[in-house]
Amino acid sequence: EKMLSPTIWVPGTVISRNDARLAAEVAGRLLKVAEVGDTFQKGDAIVKIENTTSRLSLAEANARVIREKSKLKYLEREVTRLEKLAEQNSAAKRQLDQALSDRDIAKSELDVAQVQVEQAQEELSRTIIRAPFSGVVAERTLREGERVDHGDTVVRLVDVSSLEVQARVPYSTIAHITKGSVLTVDINSELVTGIVRALVPVGDDQSRLYDVRLDVEAPNLSAGQTVKVAVPTAAARIAIVIPRDALVMRRDGIAVFQVLDDDTAKRVVVKTGIANGEIIEIIGDIQAGNRVVTRGGERLRPQQKVKIIPEGS
């Protein structure tokens, strides 16, 4: 006995969870662009953009900070001097008020200059496009020597170590799929288990299909690979199941050979029901726990004595 539900096969695709098109954040001439197939670790430089303008802006901003610091230092000394004089006459008090105002303005201008340094440093850092995650360059749209503008895509980076299966399913199956559901995935005729990681309950405007993502543990997966996913179309129910190889197809119908306690073969006519991978539901005069022949049944006759040979003998 096994819990089974009727299923349909839908096409799926192996995709990467991390698949990004990296774009330039500053304009300039491309000095370096990684080749397709190159692999990078997170933080590695993939693209370099000519940075002369950014370097000059940073140098100018640093010079402005030096100037403002010098100005502020002078005004602080002036305030100190006038504070001593202000104790002796009122004229010096007016000069002190002006010096205090100038000093405060100088402090503000120094803060602005330091912010401009940070902005120039940030702009300079953006002349290098770094890998946001470890991956391989799958595509590049521009080459060294070409000019890039802000927002232009330069390369596509794909993480081939973090893969999942994406399938699009019809609305009729949504009620029977939840996060954590176990589905069968056909990868190159090999059936493996897939666990639903996410179900997006919003249908596509054109296809009216819903996006399902599955975690699949299988070797030799590659991004872009096509697979098939079995999705349920009704609620699961208990069924009597046998291996598909146990079915004996003849002109007079479908049957299985049950091995009785006295090791004789009994032909039992059955009907088939839900199929799931290598097992299939049968309906007939047979119970869970009965022994059935899975190999050699095509040559058997009813009531024939059988001898079960251990596998490998």
Task: Render pLDDT for 172-197 as a digit per residue (tens, 0 to 9).
Answer: 898 899 999 999 899 988 889 999 99
What is the arithmetic mean of pLDDT over 120-138? 95
Strands of the sheet containing 19-23, edge to edge, are 19-23, 153-158, 135-140, 39-40
| Token code pair at residue 128 | 């290098």
Cα–Cα distance list, 206 to 56, 202, 203, 248 (Å): 51, 12, 9, 44
Contacts of 134 (CB under 8 A, 6+ apart): 39, 40, 41, 42, 159, 161
pLDDT-derived band at 97, boundaries 50, 70, 90: confident
What pLDDT, on a 0 to 100 scale, did the predictor assign at position 87? 74
∠ CA 15-17-23, nearest 5°, is 100
103 near 19, Cβ under 8 Å? no
Note the pLDDT tens digit of each residue in 5-62: 888 899 999 999 999 999 999 999 999 999 999 999 999 999 999 999 999 999 999 9
Q: What is the pTM of this model?
A: 0.70
Our measurement of the distance from residue 165's CA atom to the centroid of its chain's CA atoms, rounded to an integer in Å, reads 10
Residues 46, 52, 54, 56: is their CA dihedral positive or negative? positive
What pLDDT, on a 0 to 100 scale, did the predictor assign at position 214? 96
Residue whose token pair is 């391989």: 136
What is the arithmetic mean of pLDDT over 136-154? 94
245 near 7, Cβ under 8 Å? no
Note the pLDDT tens digit of each residue in 261-313: 898 999 999 999 888 778 899 999 999 999 999 888 888 888 999 888 877 66
42 near 132, Cβ under 8 Å? yes
What pLDDT, on a 0 to 100 scale, did the predictor assign at position 311? 73
Note the pLDDT tens digit of each residue in 194-232: 999 999 989 888 888 999 999 998 888 899 999 999 999
